[in-house]
Amino acid sequence: MDSVQKLYRLFLLLVIGGLAWNILPFLASVIVMLIFAFLFTTIFLQTVDTLERRIHSRGGSVLLILGSVITLGLWFFGSFIANLGSQIKVFTTKLQQEDFAISLEDLSNKSREYLPDFMGNMIPESAKIIATAKDSLGNVFQNILSLLGSAGSFFFVAVMVLIFTIILLIEYHDFKRTLVRFIPNKYLEIGLRTIYNIEQQISKYLRGQILAAGSVAILSIIGLFILNQTGANMTLIVFIGIIAGLANLIPMVGPFVGMIPAILIALMNNLGNDAAMAHQLFGVVPSPFFIMDIVFMFIIVQQIDNNFITPILVGESVGLHPMAVMIVLLIGGTMMGPLGMLFAIPAAGVLKVIISEMIFISKNSHLL
């Protein structure tokens, strides 16, 4: 290559780089949509392949599987919002009642007894709590409606991701072949191996995570059911379990997020109930409204998940050291928040595959 050609290539590279840098902010949302579509494609690819084998129609299997998943998702969120709505209505009525105010006064006083003075003073008067709760809960439906209004852009993104996912699922194998066409002959075999390893890495991780989330959901439902037998008076346990499972997809932070709906429901259902107010975990630890029981139950579920389920289902799928996992999660969380944490580990897995193949290439360049 002569120096003019080198200079020309450098110039071209700079122009393309400059253009990409300027266009990137506009493309960022599309790239995120494509990443989501790719992840969904990886999750459903094997199921689509299996169904295609049976019904001999790729398009049909994609539509059947995505249709079922979307229907289930809509049914879940629809009935969850409906149930939560009626629960909030009941709770709002409860707030009007006198005995409820007394119970809240009790809770406020008891909390002050257990806590040191400086913390106890932070707890507001029961009347104030009721007023605040009335104000916020009274407007909850309006808030939900305005949330749905502002969710217009989310709806657009979801539809775009769905369209991308459908196209990717139908054309996945052809897309892959097209991508392979761009690999120079020299790197063809190693390129194919890298693509296959990346696919396996992501697919294994996502499947493992989904199975782990499913088991956390089931264990949480069982745990909440057991708590109900001890008088916890929990409702919507299936929904709480599923939310805990979904939250579990985000490592480390998720489990705590999963507890919140359960604690809120326990508070809503048990306010005004003296027995629940005086409840103690194992007859020793004060656990008003079964809050400590719920926390304890979720800790047990997490322990079972961390020590038995995840090591078996997810385990070595990414092959990252726990310290590396924590660092990667922190980086992902800092860059993109919870979404970054969700993608951090599979992204690190992909990077690991690419780096190991690059090391192989640099060590064995004479063989290529």
Partner 1 sequence: MKSLYENFFKNKESSDPVLQVLGQVPIFENLTPKELKDLARLTHERSYKANEPVFKKLAPGEGMYVILKGTVEIKDPDSNTTFATLGSGDFFGELALLDEEPRSAMAVATEASELVGFFRTDLLTLMKRGPELGNKILLNLSRVLGERLRRTNLELTKSN
Residues that bind partner 1 (CB under 8 A): 46, 49-50, 52-53, 173-174, 177, 180-181, 185, 188-190, 192-193, 195-196, 364, 366-368
Q: How far is the CB of 255 from partner 1 (least distance, A)?
A: 33
Quote the CA–CA distance of 245 and 221 in Å, as a whole number. Answer: 10
Quote the CA–CA distance of 251 and 208 in Å, as a whole number. Answer: 13
Question: What is residue 319's DSSP assignment?
Answer: -
Looking at the Cβ atoms of 98 and 174, the one nearer to partner 1 is: 174
Q: How far is the CB of 197 from partner 1 (least distance, A)?
A: 9
Quote the CA–CA distance of 349 and 319 in Å, as a whole number. Answer: 8
Q: How far is CA 238 from CA 81, 138, 223, 244, 246, in A?
A: 13, 26, 11, 10, 12
Residue 250 tokens read as: 């985000």
Quote the CA–CA distance of 103 and 257 in Å, as a whole number. Answer: 27
Q: How far is the CB of 193 from partner 1 (least distance, A)?
A: 6
Q: How far is the CB of 87 from partner 1 (least distance, A)?
A: 45
Looking at the Cβ atoms of 50 and 121, the one nearer to partner 1 is: 50
Looking at the Cβ atoms of 27 and 179, the one nearer to partner 1 is: 179
Quote the CA–CA distance of 6 and 11 in Å, as a whole number. Answer: 9
Q: How far is CA 156 from CA 33, 77, 144, in A?
A: 11, 18, 18
Q: How far is the CB of 46 from partner 1 (least distance, A)?
A: 7
Helix (H, G, I), strand (E, B) or coil at 317: helix
Mention every residue, 6+ apart, whose C-beta is less than 8 A from residue 306: none
Looking at the Cβ atoms of 321 and 363, the one nearer to partner 1 is: 363
Classify residue 58 by burial, with Cβ atoms within 10 Å: 0-12, 13-18, 19+. Answer: middle
Q: How far is the CB of 206 from partner 1 (least distance, A)?
A: 16
Looking at the Cβ atoms of 105 and 171, the one nearer to partner 1 is: 171
Looking at the Cβ atoms of 169 and 242, the one nearer to partner 1 is: 169
Q: How far is the CB of 1 from partner 1 (least distance, A)?
A: 17
Looking at the Cβ atoms of 181 and 321, the one nearer to partner 1 is: 181
